Amino acid sequence: MREIKNINSLEHLENMLRETKAVLLYFSTNSCNVGEALEPKVYDLLNTNFPKIAFYKVDMNFSPEIAAKYSAFTEPTILVFFEGKETIRKSRNIGIYELHSAILRPYKLIFE
């Protein structure tokens, strides 16, 4: 199992998006109960079904410039990037099965 990595710098994030083929950014705060409950489910979804997608967490309280740059003003917000391009955006009420379905097609196109 991989570790959950935090992104705190816009420069680090932009470099990582250029260098990594698939990335999921999870925007939330520690005060969001929905975000805290959903995070392990999203993490497990990636570990089980999409192991080639890197998981990064962005705390909106500590990195407001990243949230602003990517227009993530609602928590939780999930952005999925394939080859540096935002492909999927989900906010607030996010279903795991819905997220799985959204990721499946582009994931297969890139990695299979």
What's the pLDDT at 1? Answer: 56
Residues in the chain predicted with pLDDT less than 50, given as ranges, are none
What's the pLDDT at 36? Answer: 83
- The model's pTM is 0.92
Determine the angle formed by the axes of helices 96-111 and 33-49, rounding to 10 degrees: 40
User: If you classify domain 5-111 with CATH, what class do you get?
Assistant: alpha beta
Select from 70, 79, 81 the least CA-distant residue to 106. 81
Spatial CB neighbours of 21, under 8 Å, sequence gap ≥ 6: 52, 82, 83, 110, 111
Number of separate helices (H) and strands (E) present in the chain: 4, 5
Domain definitions of the chain by residue range? 5-111
